[in-house]
Amino acid sequence: MSTELQELLDSNKHWAAETEAREPGFFSRLLKQQTPQYLWIGCADSRVPANELVNLLPGELFVHRNVANVVVHSDLNCLSVMQFAVDALKVKHIIVVGHSNCGGVRAALLDMRTGLVDNWLRHVQDVRNHHHEWLDSIDANQRVNALCELNVLEQARNACQTTVVQDAWARGQEVVVHGWVYGLHNGLLEDLRITVAAADQLAAAFQKALSAVKARYERARISSAD
Ligand SMILES: [Zn+2]
């Protein structure tokens, strides 16, 4: 085996021993059950590791990641994760997490051709096309990050519109959908304040969060023009 891979296995042994020493019985407790409160739907980017960013241990965060944190109504992978998280694990929060300078979002914005993933990124291009007039109106060097945030809002809205979440709300189950963005430059998560706890809150929450994102980029454009 290559030295690099052996290092990973060695490091895993060290981590498991350290964790068990710090919290005796940690793994045997997890074996019996997992009770995460949160479902994280994030980008596959290696710089955005879900558990580490929010300092949660194994068993505390249910995670689905794909390129550019997309929630597609026909993606059985994402929908299956959501269904298990909501129906079986009864997570209380679903957090769609984008990040600044996302390579997938950049490729979608600029029509970059990279291969099979181009087809997946069509979903982000739909977001771009939907908001293209506004995106064209802001500084070119702000557009990637602005589209990262618009994408979070649109994907959070998609999450709200899945049968999984709609059915949970219809039966009175407590599930709140959120949209966050992670700053690669400072390591901080920001709440974009699309916070939806019931079907009838979605339209207003989306519009409010969208206006807030737009206002922030418009202010940045005005102050940079001063
Ligand atoms: Zn990304």
Residue 40 is inside which H or E element, if any? strand 38-43
Q: Which of 226, 223, 220 is nearest to 143 (CA)?
A: 220
CA of 189 to the centre of ligand 1 (A): 14
Q: Can you give the pTM of this predicted structure?
A: 0.95
What local confidence, expressed as pLDDT, does residue 34 receive?
A: 86
What local confidence, expressed as pLDDT, does residue 32 receive?
A: 86
What local confidence, expressed as pLDDT, does residue 226 receive?
A: 64
From the list 10, 14, 29, 47, the catalytic residue is 47
- Concerning whether 160 is annotated as a catalytic residue, the answer is no
Determine phi and psi for 181, rounding to 5 degrees: -130, 140
Q: Which of 182, 175, 181 is nearest to 193 (CA)?
A: 181
CA of 23 to the centre of ligand 1 (A): 34
What local confidence, expressed as pLDDT, does residue 4 receive?
A: 86
- Concerning whether 221 is annotated as a catalytic residue, the answer is no
Long-range pairs, 120-127, Cβ under 8 A, ≥24: 120/66, 120/67, 120/68, 120/70, 121/67, 121/68, 123/68, 123/70, 123/72, 124/68, 124/70, 124/151, 127/151, 127/154
Map 107-164 to HEC letters. Answer: HHHCCCCCCCHHHHHHHHHHHHHHCHHHHHHCCHHHHHHHHHHHHHHHHHHHHHHCHH
- Concerning whether 73 is annotated as a catalytic residue, the answer is no
Q: 92 is written with which tokens?
A: 């209380």
Please state, as a whole number, how many other Cβ atoms lie within 10 Å of the Cβ of residue 45: 19
The whole-angstrom separation of Cα 89 and Cα 1 is 38
- Concerning whether 178 is annotated as a catalytic residue, the answer is no
Q: Delineate the domains of the chain, giving CATH numbers in brackets.
A: 1-32 (no CATH), 34-225 (3.40.1050.10)
From first to last of its 226 residues, the chain has per-residue pLDDT tens of: 788 899 999 999 999 999 999 999 999 999 988 899 999 999 999 999 999 999 999 999 999 999 999 999 999 999 999 999 999 999 999 999 999 999 999 999 999 999 999 999 999 999 999 999 999 999 999 999 999 999 999 999 999 999 999 999 999 999 999 999 999 999 999 999 999 999 999 999 999 999 999 999 998 877 777 6
From the list 64, 75, 78, 102, the catalytic residue is 102
Please state, as a whole number, how many other Cβ atoms lie within 10 Å of the Cβ of residue 90: 14
